[in-house]
Structure 1
C-alpha cells in the first residue's frame, strides 16, 4: 500500500475513524515505500491520534511525494512533520488551531521543500516584511501549481507571487485578503479566480503570459469593483480562453459607457464561456437597476416610468447585459461562445438570444454552444453534464480548467474521497490528494 487516504467523512463516528487509523498505522506492511498520504478530519482530531499519524509520516518519509493534511490540531506538530518531508512534490494543507473557527494559521517563511511542484493552501495568513510586502512562495523554485483558498495577509499591502516556473494559479474565496496581488510569473498559463465580496487588484509582469482566465462569483456586491474588473481585461490581454459567470458580466456592464470602449486586447480570444447565475436581491441588483434607469432616462421620461413599473412587478435585468458579449469579442469576432447553467428555468433564454446579436439559438438546453463567424453567424447546440469544480492541481503537469460550469481550480478536479478501505493498490497511478471545492467549503463550515 504505497498510498493512504484517511478521510473521517467516510466513518459514522470519530471513534470508529480513530480505531481504523490506528489499525492501518499498526498493520501496514512497511516493506512497501510510502508515496502518498492524505488525512482529512473536518473537526478537531484527538491529539494522540494526530501525533501518532505525524510520527508515522516522519518515520516513513524517505520516498513520500504527496502529502495532504486537513485538520484542526497542533500547528507546530504539523509543520514539524511537513518540513521533514524533503522529497515532497505535492502538498495540501488546511490546518486550523484547536477549537478555533476564525484564526488563520501563519504560513512559515522558512519552509524548505526543494522538490515541491504543487501547493494547495487553505486558511493561512502570509506575513509581510518591513516594506509591507508578503512573498511566501519564493523558496519553492520548482512550483508548477498553486492554490490559495480562504487566506489573508498580515502587516502587508501587497501579496507577491513570484515564481519563474508557476504555470497554474487558483485563488478562491480570499475576501479577507485585503491586499493588492502582484504577479511575477512569466510561465503562468492558467489563472482561476473565485471571488465572494471582493475583487483584488492585480498587477505585475506575469499577466501577459496567461492564456486561460476563469473568473467566477455569485456574490460581487459593490460597483467599485467594476473598474477593477475592467483593468483585468487590459492586463490579461493575450488570453485565448475566458470563462466567467453572468454576474461578472453584469458587474462589467456597470463601467460607464463600457460598450463604447475600443479594446486593445483579446486579439487571440478563441473561447468565451459564461455560466448563468441568478441574481439574488441585494446591492448588485439595485446597481444594475439604477444603471438601466439611467440609460432609459437618456431616451425619454416615459421609458423611465415604464422601467420602474417593470421593476415593481419583479422584473429582472437580462442575465447577460445587452452587447457585452460582442464587446468582449470585438477583436476576435469568430471566438466560440459557450453558455451553461444548472438552472435553465430561472432565465429568459429568449432574452439572452436577443442580447447576443447575430446568433441563432436552435434549441434551449442547460448547456449550449454558440459559434459566430464573419460571414454566417450560427449556433451549434450541444449538451453535456455539469462537472463539479475541483480546486487543486495534479502534481507537476499543466492541466485544463475544471469544467465549463465553474472555473474553480488550477487544474483538473480532484477525485472523490477515498472509500473506507483507505488503501490504493500498488499499481494505481499517483493520486490527487487535494480536496475539491465542495470539500473545502464543508471543512470550513463544519468546524
Structure 2
C-alpha cells in the first residue's frame, strides 16, 4: 500500500505538469499553440533527452500521457541520488522498484549512485548485482557511498567496458578508520576518465607508488583526499593523460613524478607540499591553483615557486588570492628573476575570504618587514591590525612579479567561487 506522502507528491506533480505541459487529453488549438511537439519525437531522441535528468524525475514523466507511460523503462542512464528523496526509506523503495521494473533488455550505459552516509548492505548488493548483470555494455559508473568497499571494487573489476569511473569510497562505519587500497590489478583497458576520492596508493619495493600504469587510454585523472603509503614518490605515467586534478590530498611524500608528455591542464587545491618533477609540466597550457596554508611553514611558498618555474609554456593561469598570499611568503620573492611564464596570455585572480591561520602568518611577515624599516612603522601597523585591518587580498607587487616575462597578459580579478 502506498504511503500518503507518495500520493500527495504524485498529485502535486500531475498538477504542475498540467499547468506547464499539455497532455494528449487537453486537445489542440487550431493555431497549434498547445501542440505537443516534444511527444512527437522518436523514442531514441526522447530517451537521450531524459538521460540528462535525475532518474526520479525521469520516472515522473510517466504521468504526462500514454505516450510517456512506459518510456522511462528504456532509459539507458540511471542517476540515483538519495538527496532527491525526503527519507532514506523512500530512496530505498524507489531504488528497489527501478531495478525491478526497468526493462532488463535495455542496455545500461551509465549508472551514478550517490548517498552521503551508510547504505544498507542488501540494497547496495542489489545495485551491484544489477551493474554486474549489465557490465558488458556499461560505459560510465559512479559510486559515492559509505559501505563495504570490497564488494564495490569486486563489481568494478567485472566492468571491463568502462570508459569513465568515479569512486568515492568510505568505510561502512564512520567509526571504522580502515583504509581503501586502490588495486593495482584493476584491468579496465578502455578507461579514459578516472575520479578517485579517499583511496590509498601503496608503493612497491622501489619506494615508488605508480597506481595508474595499467590505464593506457587515460585522458582525465582526478585525485581527491587520497594518500600514499610505503613510498616516497607518487609516479603518474601516461602518454595519453591531458587533464590532471589534485584536491586536498594527504600525501606524506616529498615528490610527485610526472611522465605525462601530453598534459594540457593541471588543477590543484590544498596545501602544496610536494615537489613536482619530470616531463609533466612543460606541455601544460592551463593551470588552476587554490593553495592553502594554516601555519608558518617555509615549505608551501617554496613548493609553489618551484612549480611556477616548471611552467615553461603556460598560457592561462587561474589563481586564488590565498595562493598569491602563500607565494608572497617566500623570502625576498620580488627579487627573484624567474624564467617561466614567458607565453602567458591571461591570468584570472579569484578573491577568497581570508584564512584565519594564513592571515596571522601574513600579519607577522608584514610586521617583520615593517620593523626592518623602523620601529615606529611597525608599531603603527600593529595598531592597525589590532583595530581590524587585514592583509591585502593581493600582496603588493606580486602580480608584476608573475608577469615580469609576459607584461601584456590580460589580468581579470573576480569574486566567483573557485
| Higher Cα radius of gyration | 2
Q: In structure 1, what is the Cα distance between the partners aligned to 2:159 and 2:264?
A: 29
Q: 2:344 aligns with which of 256, 269, 275?
A: 269
Structure 1 residues 270 and 319: CA distance shift in structure 2, 3 A: same
Aligned to 1:86: 160
- Counting only pairs closer than 5 Å after superposition, residues 265-344 of structure 1 correspond to structure 2 as 265-282=340-357, 284-341=358-415
The number of equivalent residue pairs is: 342
Q: What is the CA distance between 1:251 and its match in structure 2?
A: 1.1
Structure 1: distance between partners of 2:365 and 2:400: 19
2:332 to 245, 257, 261: 257
Q: How does 1:26-425 map to 2 (within 5 A)?
A: 26-100=100-174, 102-195=177-270, 197-224=271-298, 225-282=300-357, 284-341=358-415, 386=416, 405-406=417-418
1:98-131, Cα deviation, whole Å (9 max, x unpaired) = 1135433110010000000000001100010011
In structure 2, C-alpha distance between the alignment counterparts of 1:99 and 1:305, rounded to whole Å: 53
Contact 1:128 1:153 in 2 (8 A): yes
- Per the alignment, residue 357 of structure 1 pairs with none
TM-score, normalising length from structure 1?
A: 0.74
Q: Distance in 2 between matches of 1:259 and 1:198?
A: 20
Residues 314-352 of structure 1 show CA distances to partners (whole Å, capped at 9, x for unaligned) of 2211111111001100111111111111xxxxxxxxxxx
Assess if the C-alpha contact under 8 Å between 1:92 and 1:119 holds in 2: yes
1:217 positional shift: 3.4
SS of equivalent residue, structure 1 residue 298: helix
1:344 corresponding residue in structure 2: none
Q: Is the 8 A contact 1:158 1:182 kept in 2?
A: yes
Q: Whole-Å Cα distance in 2 between the matches of residues 152 and 100 of structure 1?
A: 18
Any stretches of 5+ residues in structure 2 without a counterpart?
1-74
Partners of 1:174 and 1:16 in 2: CA distance: 35
Following superposition, the deviation at residue 219 of structure 1 comes to 4.4
- Kept in 2, the 8 Å contact 1:22–1:49? The answer is yes
Stretches of structure 1 that go unaligned for 5 or more consecutive residues are 342-385, 387-404, 407-447
The whole-number CA distance in structure 1 between the counterparts of 2:383 and 2:402 is 31
In 1, distance between residues paired with 2:90 and 2:360? 51
C-alpha contact (below 8 Å) 2:345/2:410 kept by paired residues: yes
1:193 & 1:332 partners in 2: Cα distance? 23
Please give the alpha-carbon distance, in whole angstroms, between the structure 2 residues aligned to 1:246 and 1:36: 38
Q: Which residue number corresponds to residue 69 of structure 2?
A: none
3-state SS of paired residue (2:337): coil
Q: CA RMSD in A?
A: 1.5
CA 133–99 in structure 1, closer or farther in 2 if over 3 Å, else same: same
**Aligned equivalents of 1:302, 1:222: Cα separation in 2:** 25
What do the CA deviations read for 1:73-100 (whole angstroms, capped 9, x no partner)? 2222211211111110000011222113
* 1:237 to partner: Cα distance: 2.4
Query: TM-score, normalising length from structure 2?
Result: 0.79
> Segments of 4+ in structure 1 off by > 6 A?
none
